[in-house]
Chain A
Amino acid sequence: MTSPIPASPRVVLRLDRIGRRRAGRVAVQELSLELHAGQVLGLLGVNGAGKSTTLSMIAGALRPDRGDIRLNGEDFLEHPALARTQIGWLPERAPVWAELSVVEHLDAHGRLRGLNGAVLRQAREQVIERLELQPLARRLAGVLSQGQRQRLGLACALLHRPALLVLDEPANALDPVQAAKLRTLIREQAAAGNAVILSTHLLAEVTAVCDRVAILHEGTLRHDGPLSTGDHAALERTFFEIAMNGVVRAA
């Protein structure tokens, strides 16, 4: 009796040579990568490497100048409304509508993502509980601390149970306890079969939670490979070589 061959995981996201100019300079060029269901990809790079531009394009907030993005096999640029149900995005610094309370904020996000009525209420209660936002539920988003705003932004990103979670510096301003809970949450999402892209400056964050790492430098992908637990030193070496020299030198 032969053991069944495991099916290769579904490709959730495929970037094909995407590029984007911003403020007169090339922010991202010729970027291609694939992300499978259940995978957590760490996106690294120095400031200005093009991480946030890449994530904004993946999230649908910005259109690439060239290239293709396919989401679950469908052309995302042709059908930007796919972002509505399939992508959850936490932008850098978690912008909020300051006049709305946490609950109103979640409701507004839910409605924008097509949730309504009992489904919306249930989804809202679940993320409030999961992210421990109960004490903040009636508080105005404008008076939350940066760490609390990050948690609210994360709750908004998770509300509609997206297949792809795009997190831009999610651990910013989180205390160590919340940062540890964030790691658990990311692993939970991956275990549930969702794909996660995590952009961060913290190498430890990547080694703790990601199973693959991509390094951007001056808008181009310089490294894309798997990451095993305990690879911190190797990752650090690769990252610094790219950051300083633009390439990884052969050992």
Chain B
Amino acid sequence: MSLAAVTRLEWRRLLVRPLAWVLAALTVAWLAWNFTLLLGGFLAGQVQRAAQPDGPGFVDLVGVPLLGQLAQLAFLVVPLLAMSTLAGERRNGTLPLLFAAGVPASRIVLGKYLALLGWLLLWLALALAMPLALAHATHFDWGKLAAATLGLALMLAALAAVGVACSAFASHPALAAAATLMIALALWSVNLGAQLAGVNGGAINWLAMSTHLQPLLRGLVSSADLAWFALLIALALALATRRLDAERERG
């Protein structure tokens, strides 16, 4: 019950905040523009590709690259949306209202996380609607698009969890946004040096988010990659819960 109340409250706050709408409008417009460019490129090369029976299709050349663009935008959008979830409550003095309502820290964190995730999944659905609009007009690789969508959904879920955790630790929303961005970039590029050196395995590559997202974008679903995202989400939410518990204990 209290989880639903916190989720609903956070969802409502997200919906009435201009920032969420401005971000949605700007990013969807950007994605729509890119979709038309990708579609133009796809149509221009259609004759050449007709000669290659196993060549890349609509999903490879339009759907997945569009989701890749969304992944890049997520590094900006998620920190901005997540920053106020807990740091904003703390700054406004409304966090004690949730504590005083007897809501456990885990439900506060989870409720806020679910609301943010709901918004991000809607955002993903809007982006997906563009390639899906042409599903009837082209040969559509549903499996590959589903895997890529799953990858993006997991990436958004992981970044949202990191954002909520940073917001739990930060005293100011702007600090939370900066910390989320830094951690997200670090997670993405932690293996860059190893890759440049030609090292493709090892712990450093396992740590990187790109290692686990790229196979999904190529249509390859592996339980190891899913587990990596699940672990990151669980770790971030556990840390956020611990921080809130400590805040209630220590003041």
Q: Which residues in A have some Cβ–Cβ distance to B below 8 Å?
A: 20, 22, 53, 56, 59-63, 80-84, 87, 89, 91, 93, 95-100, 104, 108-109, 111-114
5 tightest CB-CB pairs across the interface, nearest first?
A95-B93, A84-B102, A61-B96, A111-B5, A81-B102
Q: How far is the CA of A113 from the CA of B102 in the complex (A)?
A: 8
Q: Are A95 and B97 in contact (CB under 8 A)?
A: yes
Q: Are B92 and A97 in contact (CB under 8 A)?
A: yes
* Chain B residues within an 8 Å CB radius of A100: 12-13, 16
Q: Are A112 and B2 in contact (CB under 8 A)?
A: yes
Q: How far is the CA of A83 from the CA of B6 in the complex (A)?
A: 16
Q: Which residues in B have some Cβ–Cβ distance to A below 8 Å?
A: 1-2, 4-6, 8-9, 12-13, 16-17, 92-94, 96-104, 248-249, 251
New contact pairs (7) apart from A81-B102, A89-B97, A96-B94, CB-CB < 8 Å: A56-B251, A80-B102, A93-B93, A99-B12, A99-B13, A109-B101, A114-B2
Q: Are B97 and A91 in contact (CB under 8 A)?
A: yes
Q: How far is the CA of A83 from the CA of B5 in the complex (A)?
A: 16
> B-side binding surface: helix, strand, loop or mixed?
helix
* Chain A residues within an 8 Å CB radius of B98: 112
Q: How far is the CA of A60 from the CA of B96 in the complex (A)?
A: 9
Looking at the complex, which one of A53, A89, A93 makes contact with B100 (CB distance below 8 Å)? A89
Min CB–CB distance A84 → chain B (angstroms): 4
Q: Are A84 and B12 in contact (CB under 8 A)?
A: no
Q: What are 29 contact pairs spanning A and B, CB under 8 A?
A: A22-B251, A56-B100, A60-B102, A61-B96, A62-B248, A80-B104, A83-B101, A84-B103, A91-B96, A95-B92, A96-B92, A97-B92, A97-B94, A99-B13, A99-B16, A99-B17, A100-B13, A100-B16, A108-B5, A108-B8, A108-B9, A109-B97, A111-B5, A112-B5, A112-B97, A112-B98, A112-B101, A113-B101, A114-B1
Q: How far is the CA of A144 from the CA of B12 in the complex (A)?
A: 19
Q: How far is the CA of A100 from the CA of B97 in the complex (A)?
A: 15
Q: Are B17 and A112 in contact (CB under 8 A)?
A: no
Q: How far is the CA of A112 from the CA of B97 in the complex (A)?
A: 9
How many residue pairs bridge A and B at CB < 8 Å? 82
Looking at the complex, which one of A53, A81, A98, A111 makes contact with B9 (CB distance below 8 Å)? A111
Closest B residue to A113 by beta carbon equals B101
Min CB–CB distance B91 → chain A (angstroms): 10
Q: How far is the CA of A240 from the CA of B249 in the complex (A)?
A: 33
Min CB–CB distance B246 → chain A (angstroms): 10
* Chain A residues within an 8 Å CB radius of B102: 60, 80-84
Q: Are A98 and B100 in contact (CB under 8 A)?
A: no
Q: Are A83 and B100 in contact (CB under 8 A)?
A: yes
Q: How far is the CA of A112 from the CA of B1 in the complex (A)?
A: 8
* Chain B residues within an 8 Å CB radius of A63: 248-249
* Chain A residues within an 8 Å CB radius of B251: 20, 22, 53, 56, 62
Q: How far is the CA of A96 from the CA of B97 in the complex (A)?
A: 9
Q: Are A59 and B100 in contact (CB under 8 A)?
A: yes
* Chain A residues within an 8 Å CB radius of B104: 80
* Chain B residues within an 8 Å CB radius of A96: 92, 94
Closest B residue to A65 by beta carbon equals B249
Q: How far is the CA of A145 from the CA of B83 in the complex (A)?
A: 27
Min CB–CB distance B150 → chain A (angstroms): 32
* Chain A residues within an 8 Å CB radius of B94: 95-97
Min CB–CB distance A71 → chain B (angstroms): 11
Q: How far is the CA of A59 from the CA of B98 in the complex (A)?
A: 11
Closest B residue to A80 by beta carbon equals B102
**Contacts A62-B251, A97-B13; is A112 near B103 (CB within 8 Å)?**
yes
* Chain A residues within an 8 Å CB radius of B97: 61, 89, 91, 95, 109, 112
Q: How far is the CA of A146 from the CA of B102 in the complex (A)?
A: 26
* Chain A residues within an 8 Å CB radius of B8: 108, 111
Q: Are B93 and A91 in contact (CB under 8 A)?
A: yes
Min CB–CB distance B208 → chain A (angstroms): 37
* Chain A residues within an 8 Å CB radius of B6: 112
Min CB–CB distance B36 → chain A (angstroms): 35
Q: How far is the CA of A91 from the CA of B242 in the complex (A)?
A: 24
Min CB–CB distance A47 → chain B (angstroms): 17
Q: Are A84 and B101 in contact (CB under 8 A)?
A: yes
